[in-house]
Chains A and B, each alone.
Chain A
Amino acid sequence: MKKVLIVEDDSFLQGLEAGKLKKEGYEVITASSGEEAMKKITEPDIAIILLDLILPNYDGFEILKKIKENETTKNIPVIVFSNLSEEKDVKKSQEMGATDFMVKSNFTLEELVDRISKIVK
């Protein structure tokens, strides 16, 4: 079972994302703040990280930086999953090593699962 870390501070959205992924056969762990995410990224066997950008404590970019700096986590694919869509945010995510950038409101949860399954297959 592939393990997904969802970093999302909106509990309602987090619940919907987690519910869908569990239903599709993924193991899900969650973090609701930047601080919690910083701790959870080093958990073993994470197959992919779904990362929101606007978060309490640390923002998504700081977490992405930490993921890519750490030898044990740097190869974990990261999908930035945010409702920000400015070109500067997309560019920054790419430059920092994110695998993909998805604007939440432009995708259904099926499309999200589809994207994840293609990356972790």
Chain B
Amino acid sequence: MEEEIKKLKEEIEQLKRINENKSDIISITAHQLRTSLSALKWIFKMFIDEDIGQLTTEQSSFIQKAYNSNERMLALVNDLLTLSHAEDASMSYNFKKVDLLYLIEQVLFDFSGETNKKEIELLFLKPEIPLPQLKCDESMIRVVIQNLIENAIKYSSKGGKVFVSLKQKDADIMISVHDTGIGIKDEDKESIFKKFYRAPNAQEKDAVGSGLGLFTTKNIVEKHKGKIWFENAQGGGTTFFVSLPIDQKI
């Protein structure tokens, strides 16, 4: 018995080391990729802004396509890093009590520039009664809230509205993000949380996106023993719901 426990402990240590090595490789590769992609981004932007001289309409259109393509690569690198962190950190999620109201307010503040740019109204429907703190990994739950709000903004048109709400429902805390955007078509409902899946109407609306955001979000929510789902709202738009158990035994 003791021998078996010792063997298991050794195996866990070995797995942890492999995991750390994998994280290091991803982190270094992402850094190197970003360095080249930064150079391309800045150069393309100089052409787009005609800092280096005037372009023909055709040249301008090609450069814009190259810029968008580069942005897609960057989004992919960013999302892969987040996903790698979400998956790897599962062995060492840092669970502590977090005030979700404060966390959501911080995230909303980070989005203020973007909502101003797109003239989107971002509203927070706060709970009517104080909520208990939630035992969770703060940085990971921040990613969940960020991803849902980012999607809501991305797939809304100028002048749209995004509502974030937070409330307690029985033994769970429920976060919802409602938008007045393009919605999710019936044929895409099954696939929306799959790795690398992008709905055709989403691709049409926004060229930049890796198809990893909702996959990562679901992954994190499930690591917290929570649930994520969505409903298409009447009159257009979508509402995403996340429920997280208050009393985590992790």
Contact = CB atoms under 8 A, between A and B. Distances in A.
Q: A and B, one complex? A: yes
Interface of A: 10, 12-13, 16, 20, 23, 54, 83-87, 103-106, 108-110
Interface stretch (B37-45, B114-122, B168-176): B37-45
Interface residues of B, number: 21
Nearest to B81: A85
Given A85-B81, A87-B139, A109 B42 contact: yes
Contact of A105 (B37, B49, B51): B37
B212 interface: no
A103 B81 CA distance: 13
A24 to B, nearest CB: 12
B45 A83 contact: no
Interface string B152-179: 0000000000000000000000000000
A83 B42 contact: no
B124 to A, nearest CB: 24
A105 B139 contact: no
Contacts of B64: none
A105 B42 CA distance: 9
Contacts of B38: 13, 83, 104-105
A17 to B, nearest CB: 8
15 contacts: A10-B39, A12-B39, A13-B39, A16-B39, A20-B42, A54-B31, A83-B31, A85-B78, A105-B34, A105-B74, A106-B74, A108-B42, A108-B45, A109-B46, A110-B49
Interface of B: 27, 30-31, 34-35, 37-39, 41-43, 45-46, 49, 51, 74, 77-78, 81, 85, 139
Nearest to A13: B39
Contact of B45 (A12, A86, A109): A109
Contacts of A54: 31
Contacts of A20: 42
A5 B85 CA distance: 33
A6 to B, nearest CB: 14
A21 B46 CA distance: 13
Contacts of B34: 83, 103-105
A52 B37 CA distance: 16
A86 B139 contact: no
Nearest to B48: A108
A-B residue pairs, 4 tightest by C-beta: A83-B34, A105-B34, A105-B38, A104-B38
Contacts of A108: 41-42, 45
A84 B45 contact: no
A80 to B, nearest CB: 14
Contacts of A86: 27, 85
A105 B45 CA distance: 12
Contacts of B42: 13, 16, 20, 108-109
